[in-house]
Chain A
Amino acid sequence: MSSHRPQRGPLVVFWTWITVLAGGLAIMIIVPWLEV
């Protein structure tokens, strides 16, 4: 097993969480902003 494989997981979950946070914030700001 390559020594690089276990190190990919944390990077995958890191960017998954960044995407969830950024996507959630974008929706929560833009949707009401359009209605204000």
Chain B
Amino acid sequence: MRRFLSGNGLSLAFLLLFLLTLFGQSLAGHADENEELLRHGMPEVGYLEFVGSSRFLVDVAENWQSEFLQFFLFILATIWLIQRGSPESKKPGHAGVGSDGEQLVGSHARPDSPAWAKVHGFRLWLYSNSLLLVMGAVFALSWLAQSLAGLVVANEENAMHGVPAEAWADYVVSPEFWNRTLQNWQSEFLAVGAMVVLSIYLRQRGSSESKPVGTPHLTSAVEPE
């Protein structure tokens, strides 16, 4: 057990943080929702009813989609774009998907390479892009979830104000949907760009996200050639 914890602490710590903050979000969201209902002289909702409602889910989904879009674009962009000096970037001259030899695929695979790195055709293509595809799928599905839950919330408010219900196709071009979407995207792109640029000149000793402290500023990737 100790070995399991020490060997997987990074993912377990973030899983715990995710669960705790999601629970915190549900408590704060529930309290906020009931304050709002009280102000309008309406009856309070129960906790379980709130966490199963679109009001809670739209807020979860809109943050999920932007985080996964961030990683999707970062994985995609780092194939082709270089930032000289950043540990997040490959070295100048290494843009592109790399040769089969560099990527250890097909006849260049090692005996302990993943099974689908040793084959050719569709399975090799799929495995070669699997990280990008899964991050992209989580982004697309959580953005879809945001649009569905957001539509339900918008139509609840429309009903309260005696306005006819909107269709999904109308909601996804509405200012509200894009306001919710873009306010998340802008912060993700700012943070990713800051990480890429600040890590050229700044260091955190001991972090895999940083170059070693004494590495020259203009050295990009720290992985072996």
Partner of A17, one of B15, B53, B54, B142: B15
B15 touches A29 (CB 8 A): no
Chain A interface size range: 20 to 34
Shortest Cβ distance from A5 into B: residue: B3
Given A29-B148, A32-B149, A9 and B8 touching (CB < 8 A)? Answer: yes
- In the bound complex, residues from chain A placing their C-beta under 8 Å from that of B144 are 29
Shortest Cβ distance from A25 into B: residue: B141
Q: What does DSSP make chain A's interface, helix, strand, loop or mixed?
A: helix
What mask results when residues 19 to 53 of chain B are scored 1 for a CB within 8 Å of chain A, else 0? 00000000000000000000000000000000011
Which of B57-65, B83-91, B217-225 lies at the interface with chain A? Answer: B57-65
What mask results when residues 60 to 91 of chain B are scored 1 for a CB within 8 Å of chain A, else 0? 11001000000000000000000000000000
B151 contacts partner chain A, Cβ-Cβ < 8 Å: yes
Given A9-B4, A13-B8, A36-B152, A20 and B54 touching (CB < 8 A)? Answer: no
A24 to B65, CA, bound (A): 12
Partner of B149, one of A5, A12, A24, A31: A31
A29 touches B145 (CB 8 A): yes
Given A25-B141, A36-B151, A6 and B7 touching (CB < 8 A)? Answer: yes
A35 touches B15 (CB 8 A): no
A29 to B150, CA, bound (A): 11
Add 6 more A-B contacts to A13-B8, A31-B54 (CB < 8 A): A9-B4, A25-B138, A28-B142, A31-B52, A31-B149, A32-B148
Q: Chain A: residues with CB nearer than 8 A to chain B?
A: 1, 5-6, 8-10, 12-13, 16-17, 20-21, 24-25, 27-29, 31-33, 35-36
